[in-house]
Amino acid sequence: MRPSLSSTRVIGAANVAVILVAVVALMIMPGDDPGDRPPPEAVKVGQIQPAPSSGRPSSPGPSVQPSGQPSGQPSEPAPIPTASQPPAVVATPEFARQVKANEAGLVPIIMYHRIIKKRMASIDRTPDQLRQELEKLAKQGYVPITAAEFAAGRIQVPAGKFPVVLTFDDGHSSHFALDDQGRPAKNTAVAIIYDVARKYPSFRPVATFWVNHYPFGLQKQEQQASAAQWLHRQGFEVANHTWTHPNLRAMGTKKVREQIARLERMLKKLGVPPSTTMALPFGSMPHKKKAARKGEWGGVRYDFDAVFLAGAEPSLSPFAKGYDPGAVQRIQSNGKKGECRKWCSQYWLEWLQKHPGWRYVSDGDPDRVSVPKKLQGNIAAKRRDQVNAY
For residues 99 and 105, give the distance between their C-alpha atoms in angstroms, rounded to a whole number. 14
Residue 71 pLDDT > 80, yes or no?
no
List, for residues 318-358, the tens digit of each pLDDT value.
999 999 999 999 999 999 999 899 999 999 999 999 999 99
- Is 301 part of any domain? yes
- Centre a 10 Å sphere on the Cβ of residue 126 and count the other Cβ atoms it contains: 15
Q: Which domain holds residue 251?
A: 81-384
pLDDT of residue 19: 52
- Is 177 part of any domain? yes
pLDDT of residue 75: 60
Q: Give the model's confidence band at 30: pLDDT under 50 very low, under 70 low, under 90 confident, else very high.
A: very low
290 versus 56: the higher-pLDDT residue is 290
Beta bridge partners of 359: 106
b/e code 246-281 from CB counts within 10 Å (16+ = b): bebeebebeebbbbbbbbbbbbeebebeebbbbbbb
pLDDT of residue 57: 39
Residue type, 164: V
List, for residues 214-243, the tens digit of each pLDDT value.
999 999 999 999 999 999 999 999 999 999
Are 361 and 160 spatial neighbours (Cβ–Cβ below 8 Å)?
Answer: yes
- Is 204 part of any domain? yes
Residue type, 101: A
Residue 135 pLDDT > 90, yes or no?
yes
What is the domain count for the chain?
A: 1
- Is 348 part of any domain? yes
- pTM of the complete model: 0.84
- Is 56 part of any domain? no
b/e code 44-72 from CB counts within 10 Å (16+ = b): ebeebeebeeeebbbbbbbbbbbeeeeee
- Is 233 part of any domain? yes
- Is 4 part of any domain? no
- Is 293 part of any domain? yes
Q: Give the model's confidence band at 10: pLDDT under 50 very low, under 70 low, under 90 confident, else very high.
A: very low
Look up the CATH number of the domain holding residue 359. 3.20.20.370
Mean pLDDT of all residues in 127-139: 99
